Amino acid sequence: MLDGSSQSSRTLRDVSSLLAAGLIKAEDAPSLERVGGRYAIAVTPAVAALIDRSDPKDPIAAQYLPHIEELVTRPDEAADPTGDGPHSPVRGVVHRYPDRALLLPTLACAVYCRFCFRRDQVGPEGGTLTETELDAALSYIAATPAIREVILTGGDPLILSARRLADLLRRLAAISHVETVRVHSRVPLADPARITDALTAALTAGPPLWLLLHVNHAREISAPALAALDRLRCRGIPLLAQTVLLAGVNDGPEALEALFRALIRARVKPHYLHLLDPAPGTARFRVPLARARALHAGLRGRLPGHAIPTLVLDIPGGFGKVEANAPRLFPSPDIGFVVIDPKGEAHILPPGVAAETESG
């Protein structure tokens, strides 16, 4: 069950609503209708309020407003760029690493990000696991003692009702080998009013829980978002953040420094800086790999160590997430970049992720 009690009822969910709100131009509407027919749209009032309508390059708008280039899928882009499919033993579970598993209780989100790596699956129609499917997912976790951490992701698990979240977390607490839970969410930024006392209480109903905030720009950490983060912290929930490096949003030293300083002020530890996964229609967000590495290296001189996240990359094909620096990833003459997966096997990064990315 989704909780429709907060701002979501006024979320802008189609091109005509975006037009009426002054967020897109009338001449762009017909082509954006085609984008909306392919990928879900949702812009919450909290996000709409952050968009500078006078700036055609606004970094908040770039993340959430549809764009005509989304209709172009490059040959190197894939609907499942991180290769989750082969690692999904039952619907709603992805089990790639022995000690942890993803649990996706819903594929719906508060907002739909234009760079999302699950964009072919997420959406209001993506659905929440049925009771039967959730039973099967929890049975798999219960029958797999190697799983010590369950990562709730999606979709965005914090759009579930407090009652449903508490129920899910209690069921995870009943599985003795599940030691911790991690929740991935951008709801504290995109719909901070949803972080109610009931919801934060629900988050304490199960195993020790960490919240990993998805955030890409300093302006997303608004006053209401700061208050929502405070409510989570008051429940003793540790806060981490992950950021996707996105052209036109945060691909400059000043933007990254501002974001990570804002997170540290909010007492949120920057954890990962992700390279973009090559999902369909996302090429405009690509940052060349060499430039990404240079930007990350440059943070060392600008920020204290605890404000610098680890630069990571999901190896296309489902080979896992690795640090995008030596000794895991290094340039090699004539063949581009070589990456060593978590099992120690070497892969040449495909052109779309490495060489082609070098030229944008």
Residue 100 falls in the annotated catalytic set: yes
Q: Which stretch binds ligand SF4 (CB under 6 A): 8-16, 66-74, 106-114, 131-139?
A: 106-114
Residue 52 falls in the annotated catalytic set: no
Q: Which stretch binds ligand SF4 (CB under 6 A): 112-120, 224-232, 287-295, 349-357?
A: 112-120
Residue 213 in contact with ligand SF4, rule: CB under 6 A = no
> Exposed (0-12), middle (13-18) or buried (19+): which is 331, by Cβ within 10 Å?
middle
Of 144-183, which residues contact ligand SF4 (CB under 6 A)? 154-156
Residue 96 falls in the annotated catalytic set: yes
Residue 186 in contact with ligand SF4, rule: CB under 6 A = yes
Catalytic residue chosen out of the listed positions 182, 191, 277, 293: 277
Tokens at 352, concatenated = 């779309």
List the end-to-end C-alpha distance of the chain, in Å, as a whole number: 42
Tokens at 78, concatenated = 């894939």
d(CA 96, CA 268): 27
Min dist CB 145 to ligand SF4, Å, is: 29
Catalytic residue chosen out of the listed positions 164, 194, 286, 321: 321
Catalytic residue chosen out of the listed positions 38, 97, 231, 261: 97
Tokens at 208, concatenated = 């020790």
Catalytic residue chosen out of the listed positions 64, 80, 84, 109: 109
Nearer to ligand SF4, 187 or 340 (CB): 187
Tokens at 118, concatenated = 């699950």
Site size toward ligand SF4, by CB under 6 A: 11
Nearer to ligand SF4, 123 or 320 (CB): 123
Among 112, 140, 260, 319, binds ligand SF4 (CB under 6 A): 112
| DSSP class per residue in 68-99 | GGGG---TT--SSTT--GGG-SSTTEEEEETT
Min dist CB 177 to ligand SF4, Å, is: 27
Residue 194 in contact with ligand SF4, rule: CB under 6 A = no
- Tokens 């997420």 sit on residue: 122
Min dist CB 186 to ligand SF4, Å, is: 5
Residue 35 in contact with ligand SF4, rule: CB under 6 A = no
Of 117-146, which residues contact ligand SF4 (CB under 6 A)? 118, 122
Residue 109 in contact with ligand SF4, rule: CB under 6 A = yes
Residue 156 falls in the annotated catalytic set: no
Label the pairing between strands 239-244 and 269-274. parallel
Give the amino acid at 133.
Answer: E
- At residue 211, φ and ψ (nearest 5 deg) are -110, 130
CA 47 to the chain's CA centroid = 16
d(CA 316, CA 77): 10
Residue 118 falls in the annotated catalytic set: yes
CA 350 to the chain's CA centroid = 23
Nearer to ligand SF4, 194 or 214 (CB): 214
Min dist CB 188 to ligand SF4, Å, is: 12
Q: Where are the beta strands (DSSP E) in the chain?
A: 93-97, 100-103, 149-152, 180-185, 209-214, 239-244, 269-274, 310-315, 320-323, 329-332, 336-340, 346-348
Tokens at 95, concatenated = 């089990």
Give the amino acid at 282.
Answer: T
Angstrom CA distances, 67 to 3, 13, 77, 123, 346, stand at 29, 15, 17, 17, 36
Residue 97 falls in the annotated catalytic set: yes
Of 271-330, which residues contact ligand SF4 (CB under 6 A)? none
- Cα dihedral 226, 229, 270, 275 in deg (nearest 10): -90
Q: Which stretch binds ligand SF4 (CB under 6 A): 4-12, 108-116, 201-209, 341-349?
A: 108-116
Among 41, 60, 78, 113, binds ligand SF4 (CB under 6 A): 113
Tokens at 272, concatenated = 């990962």
Residue 277 falls in the annotated catalytic set: yes
* 10: helix, strand or coil: helix
List of residues contacting ligand SF4 (CB under 6 A): 109, 112-113, 116, 118, 122, 154-156, 186, 214
**Residues tagged active-site:** 96-97, 100, 109, 113, 116, 118, 277, 314, 321
